[in-house]
Structure 1
Amino acid sequence: MHLPNQVSKIILELLINLCYYSTAAGKALFSMLAVFAEFERNIIVERTKAGLAASRARGRNGGRPKTDTKKVIQAIKLYDSKAHSVADKT
C-alpha cells in the first residue's frame, strides 16, 4: 500500500507520540498493554488449571515420582559415613 508522503509522516508522528510515557496517550497505551498482558497471563493460568484437573480426572497425577524410602535411607547413610567422596567417583 502506497500512502502519500504527508499521510505517512502523520502516521509516523502519531506512533512516535504514543510511545512516550509522559503524554496522556503514552500512559493510556502502556496501561492497555498491561491490561492485555495480565489478561493473557490469567488465561494461561486458567487453561493450565483446567488441563491439570482434566488429567487428574483421567487418573493421572503429575509431579515427581515418589522415591523409594530404602534408597533414601541408604543414600543418607553413605553421605554421613563420608567413606566415599566425589573425587573417588571421577
Structure 2
Amino acid sequence: MTERFYLYDDVEDTKTRYVSFMGESQRFDLAIMSTTRYYGKKLVLDMQSNRFAIIGEDDLDEPNYLERTFKLDEEDGKELREFLYEVIL
C-alpha cells in the first residue's frame, strides 16, 4: 500500500445549531455549522433529504440555488431561504 497523500488534515471546534421547523408543506430538520473555514459561510445540512451545502448571503441571492441544491419546489425553497437569511446574515 502506498503512503496516503493528505491535502489537509485539521481538527477544529465548530458551533452547530440544530433547528427543526414546519413549513407550509414540508418539515425542515437542519444542522447549521459555523466554522472558520468557507470564508464566513455556513455548512447547512438537511437531515431529511441527506443533502448539504456551504451557504453564504451570495448563495441565498442566487436564483433557484436552494431549490436545485436541496431538491425543493419553489414554495419550499422560498421558506428555507427566508429562514436562512435570518441565520446566515
Q: TM-score normalised by the shorter chain: which range applies?
A: under 0.3
Query: Which of the two has higher C-alpha Rg?
Result: 1
- TM-score normalised by structure 1 residue count: 0.22
The structure richer in strand per residue is 2
